[in-house]
Amino acid sequence: MENVADDFSRGGKPPGNLEVLARLLPDLPTPAEAVLDPEEGVRAALRGLVERSLTGPFDFAVVLEDPQTCPNCGGAVSAPKSPYCSEVCRDTAAFVRQFRSSLLNGAIFERERQIGLGQALWKIQGGGYPLRQRLVTPKVLAKVIERDGGKCSVCGAPATEIDHVGSG
């Protein structure tokens, strides 16, 4: 693993995030290169984020500490146990923290870390977990859908895919 913080730990200046992102970009596959390999497809999901981070435009807003306002989107917060207004905002903030940490400690250059971050990004963009779907054979998929009467166990809509919604 390339530790981008090594120079900093020896008293030097840490590399900026843009420098790390510029070194990362050539390592990430393009969507066209990732068509046949699902893991490469998940890594390619990070490419757009890295490209946008390198080119801008940058639109920063000051986030004021207000327990009634979501620090991610600025929406109203109704639950006192979380500073976020929704699971999506909570997951987005967690992704940002993990991504920044990976930039700092060099873990972003590890293929497995890229796959994990790509999966998380894919999920918050509404795409679910594509690698998890590969683990379910068509036979098991059909059995589960049949077991639940062809309907989603959460909302009752017609089921075409499955997801673990239990507590374990």
How buried is 60 (Cβ within 10 angstroms: 0-12 exposed, 13-18 middle, 19+ buried)?
exposed
pLDDT of residue 9: 45
Statement to judge: residues 84 and 128 lie in one domain: yes
Report the domain count for the chain. 2
Residue 1 lies in a domain: no
Residue 42 forms part of a structural domain: yes
pLDDT digits 0-9 by tens, 2-18? 444 444 444 445 568 88
pLDDT of residue 164: 58
Asked, for residue 15, whether it belongs to a domain, the answer is yes
Shared-domain flag, residues 90 and 162: no
**Judgement on whether residues 95 and 131 belong to the same structural domain of the protein:** yes
95, 141: one domain: no
Same domain, 119 and 158: no
**62, 33: one domain:** yes
Range of the domain at 36: 6-135
pLDDT digits (tens, 9 = 90+) for 90-127: 999 999 999 999 999 999 999 999 999 998 998 888 77
The reported pLDDT for the residue numbered 8 is: 42
pLDDT at 154 over 70: yes
> What's the pLDDT at 76?
92
Residue 125 belongs to a domain: yes
Same domain, 130 and 158: no
Length of the chain equals 168
Mark whether 14 and 89 lie in a shared domain.
yes
Domain shared by 153 and 124, yes or no: no
Average pLDDT rounded to a whole number, residues 38-59: 87
- The number of beta carbons lying within 10 Å of the beta carbon of residue 79 is 9
DSSP symbols for 37-81 = -HHHHHHHHHHHHHHHHHH-----------TTB-TTT--B---TT
Confidence band for 128, pLDDT divided at 50, 70 and 90? low
72 is a domain residue: yes
pLDDT of residue 145: 85
Q: How many CB atoms lie within 10 A of CB 73?
A: 14
pLDDT of 134 above 90: no
Contact 83, 69 (CB under 8 A): no
Q: Rounded to two decimals, what is the model's pTM?
A: 0.68
**Residues 131, 148 within the same domain:** no
If asked whether residues 32 and 93 sit together in one domain, one would say yes
Report the pLDDT value the prediction gives residue 166, as an integer from 0 to 100.
54
Q: Are residues 52 and 126 in the same domain?
A: yes
